[in-house]
Amino acid sequence: MKSLEELKALRDKMQGSVTLRNESEASTRVVVGMATCGIASGARPVLTALSNAVAEKKIEDVAVTQTGCIGLCQYEPIVEVFQPGKEKVTYVKMTPEKALEVVEKHIIGGNPITEYTIGAIMKN
Amino acid sequence: MMTEIALNVLDVAENSVRANATLVEIEVIIDRKKDLLSIRIKDNGCGMSEEQLKNVEDPFFTTRKTRKVGLGIPFYKQAALAAGGEFYIRSELGVGTETFASFGLSNIDRMPLGDINGTIHTLVVYNEGLDFLYTYVFDDAKFTLDTREFREILGDISFKEPEISQYIMDYLTEQKAECDGGVNV
């Protein structure tokens, strides 16, 4: 059973070995809409998939965070990717599977997946 | 519409975050003798004016500028009342807000509680600027998670560090299973 003692041991192990990540220093921000509209359409599994993928693949300089409603409720779950010097990319109607693809192709590979973006959806 | 009660809890607790609370208390009580599941969410945030409080259960009222409807509280209230439960919300400007919802445990129209551990984990890990006190009660067994205790141990190590985030999830999973034997409520 997990105890606070175990947490102390974890801390002692981590101190020194990790350089503490600072969110404001992260160059890429991946933001998930988590208002009523987002949550009702399945944003929580998307958020979990994104943060697990970023942690598992040990991707540095990426912060996964949440935000409220941006007024595009019919396109939720929405994930926005902010990278310095690049235009914001807004992914709509996300699923955990699509989110993992975004991590692979966009965050790691550097190529946004155009077909999942709001621009592509609104054209159809 | 939410598909599980845990998602309503996530949604309503996010309001406490936006209300600049420093402490959010969440209590989930399952009482099989009383045939009741009850949930209390209490914060010390900015609170609401009488005017806002009067309107908060109205789906066509919201303080947001991004859309014209506010369905968080109406969804939650409807889920409780549909399952033979009760709902109320109390608030005082500058003091905080408290919501209470109960559900008939064996009521056929009650949504499943769902992934309550996931909800608490998401709240705790993604809102490091405030503290959470979570209590889970199953009949006579109970456990608590107090982020103030975690923070005291961890200092400036973030809850988002993969090892810590995993610890918090494991803590919730193991403690809950110890209380309820892993039943799906």
CA distance A10 to chain B (A): 8
Is the predicted pLDDT of residue A22 greater than 70, yes or no? no
Contact A70 B72 (CB under 8 A): no
pTM: 0.91
Reported CATH class of domain A21-123: alpha beta
Q: Kindly state the tokens that stand for B127.
A: 């809102």
Contact between A7 and B154 under an 8 Å Cβ cutoff? The reply is: yes
Residues of A in contact with B7 (CB under 8 A): 39-40, 44
Alpha-carbon gap, residue A67 to B57, rounded angstroms: 23
Is B129 in the A-facing interface, judged by CB distances under 8 Å? no
Of A21, A39, A71, the CB nearest to B67: A71
Q: Which pLDDT belongs to residue B20?
A: 94
Summarize pLDDT for B12-62 with one digit per residue, the tens.
999 999 999 999 999 999 999 999 999 999 999 999 999 888 888 888 888
Is A25 in the B-facing interface, judged by CB distances under 8 Å? no
Is A48 in the B-facing interface, judged by CB distances under 8 Å? yes
Q: Kindly state the tokens that stand for A83.
A: 């990278």
B123: confidence class by pLDDT, cuts 50, 70, 90: very high
Alpha-carbon gap, residue B10 to B12, rounded angstroms: 6
Q: Kindly state the tokens that stand for B102.
A: 């109960």
Residues within 8 A of A (CB atoms), B 48-77 only? 64, 66-67, 70-72, 75
Alpha-carbon gap, residue B122 to A19, rounded angstroms: 23
Summarize pLDDT for A93-114 with one digit per residue, the tens.
999 999 999 999 999 999 999 9
Domain spans of chain A, in order of start: 21-123
Alpha-carbon gap, residue A95 to A46, rounded angstroms: 6
Q: Which pLDDT belongs to residue A15?
A: 80
Is the bond preceding A77 in cis, omega lying within 30 degrees of 0?
yes
Is A30 in the B-facing interface, judged by CB distances under 8 Å? no
Q: Which pLDDT belongs to residue A60?
A: 83
Summarize pLDDT for B138-178 with one digit per residue, the tens.
999 999 999 999 999 999 899 988 899 999 999 999 999 99
Is the predicted pLDDT of residue A52 greater than 80, yes or no? yes
Is A9 in the B-facing interface, judged by CB distances under 8 Å? no
Is the predicted pLDDT of residue A21 greater than 60, yes or no? no
Of A7, A40, A66, the CB nearest to B150: A7
Alpha-carbon gap, residue B28 to B38, rounded angstroms: 6
Neighbouring-strand partners of residue B37: B30, B103
CA distances (Å), origin A89, targets A19, A86, A119, B41: 29, 9, 9, 35
Residues of A in contact with B75 (CB under 8 A): 36, 40
Q: Which pLDDT belongs to residue B54?
A: 87
Contact B156 A21 (CB under 8 A): no
Of B11, B162, B174, the CB nearest to A36: B11
Of A2, A56, A73, the CB nearest to B67: A73
E strand or H helix at B25, and its extent? strand B23-31
Q: Which pLDDT belongs to residue A3?
A: 86
State residue B112 phi and psi, 5-degree precision. -65, 150
HSE on the CB side for A34, CA within 13 Å?
28
Is B170 in the A-facing interface, judged by CB distances under 8 Å? yes
Contact B161 A14 (CB under 8 A): yes
Residues of A in contact with B11 (CB under 8 A): 35-36, 39-40
- Could you tell me the domains of chain B? 5-180 (3.30.565)
Q: Where are the alpha helices (DSSP H) in A1-124?
A: 4-14, 36-40, 43-56, 96-102, 118-123
A17: confidence class by pLDDT, cuts 50, 70, 90: low
Is the predicted pLDDT of residue A20 greater than 80, yes or no? no
Is B33 in the A-facing interface, judged by CB distances under 8 Å? no
